Amino acid sequence: MEVINPATGERERTVEEHTESDVDDALERATAAYEEWRDRPIREREELLAAAGDVLRENKREYAETMTREMGKPISQAIAEVEKCAWVCDHYAEHGSAYLSADGHPSPPGSSVETVYDPLGPILAVMPWNFPFWQVFRFAAPHLTSGNVGLLKHASNVPGCAQAIEDVFRKAGYPEDVFQTLLISSDLVDDVIEDDRVKAATVTGSGPAGRAVASTAGDQLKKSVLELGGSDPFVVLDDADIEAAAETGAWARNQNGGQSCIAGKRFLVHTDVYDGFLEAFVDEVESLTVGDPTDGETDIGPQARADLMDELHAQVEASVAAGAELLTGGEPLDREGAFYPPTILADVPEGCPADSEETFGPVAAVYEIDDEDALVAKANDTEFGLGATIWTEDRERGRRLAREIDAGCVYVNQLVKSDPRVPFGGVGESGYGRELAREGMLEFVNRKTVWVE
């Protein structure tokens, strides 16, 4: 695996991939580790998870710098990501026992019936590069605590992050092989899922990657959870706080270089406030600093890979050619590295790439729409269904419209985010299943009914 620094285009290092024999050995060790780990009292598993949170906080600068080198995340955002990982560890260390407590059911006199939650075994997690620590920890924190063991197949451009995460659990005192990194190509994923020793799989990534994992897991009758792409609507109603919506919208679209499934991507603005919002939105976007990701003042670093930047730019060019108006940005920066500026497209024609495809970078598509029903219809005019945002001063109106939008989560007067306290996931082409909260923790357990007469 070649690690290319996207800010410089230079090769940082080469990492040897694991062989098929290495993978077989890892699966054997994972199976053995599971037999002991599943019987550990959950309080001990919670204590180890709390220790992992401490390790993350103690080494956050080191881990953040690894992210920045490998995928270009601005250092301040990378540090915040490590801190968020520590938070999810704290959350399940505190609430894991309650989330897994047995649920009682009505039963005849003299009997008791309850549902208990038992782990499944080794779980494969196929994870992306855009949040290389957070995506892994929101899988590992709940599912290791429930008694499963983890096998991580991380994106090939962030092997250092994968190795660092494995080291977090080692430093925290986890038993050997409860969490392992598999440095393998995507070509070997099917073989791992098909192995009888692997009991389930989860993937965060592209639609094709999700379909491939779901197909293989389904053929093997194994549980899978998919968190895939998004084209989240950012709806601004006629009674919205325009300045707040523009400020939050600029960040919702451009944090992490715009490389986020839950970024606000399609900005659907009521005619009555369109001009005011657009002016404020352009000002906010143009105020963001693009530059060296190791500089704490940088808001937007490089795109993670040069080829991804090229794909993004092709989407912008095709959208402009179809009639979209380019208001700012729209050209790769003339400097070393894969730098693309924050870009805004207005009057976006139906069916062009900015309208119908996921733009995985700092490109916002803005629409002027003249009534509430049409805003909701446009919000739902997508194959994706991950998240959505509604801006209105009338909270009851926001709550009502949230029920009309087809998405896994809708935030009113707030950007979409994944939070350990609430379930996270999508519908449609955005995948299925849930992560986080109790619902996420129960995805990879056997919900066993125990009837005692």
Residues recognised as catalytic = 227, 261
Q: Which residues pair with 452 in a beta bridge?
A: 112
State residue 167 phi and psi, 5-degree precision: -70, -30
Helix (H, G, I), strand (E, B) or coil at 410: strand
Q: What span, in angstroms and rounded, lies between the C-alpha atoms of 284 and 249?
A: 9
Amino acid making up residue 74? P
Q: Shortest CA distance to 132 belongs to which of 3, 33, 233, 19? A: 3
Q: What span, in angstroms and rounded, lies between the C-alpha atoms of 213 and 194?
A: 10
DSSP-H helix ranges across 255-362 = 271-286, 306-321, 353-356
Q: What span, in angstroms and rounded, lies between the C-alpha atoms of 351 and 150?
A: 41
Are 240 and 392 spatial neighbours (Cβ–Cβ below 8 Å)? Answer: yes
Q: Work out the angle between the directed axes of helices 42-58 and 134-145 (0-180°, nearest 10).
A: 160
Q: Shortest CA distance to 315 belongs to which of 259, 344, 353? A: 353
Helix (H, G, I), strand (E, B) or coil at 295: coil
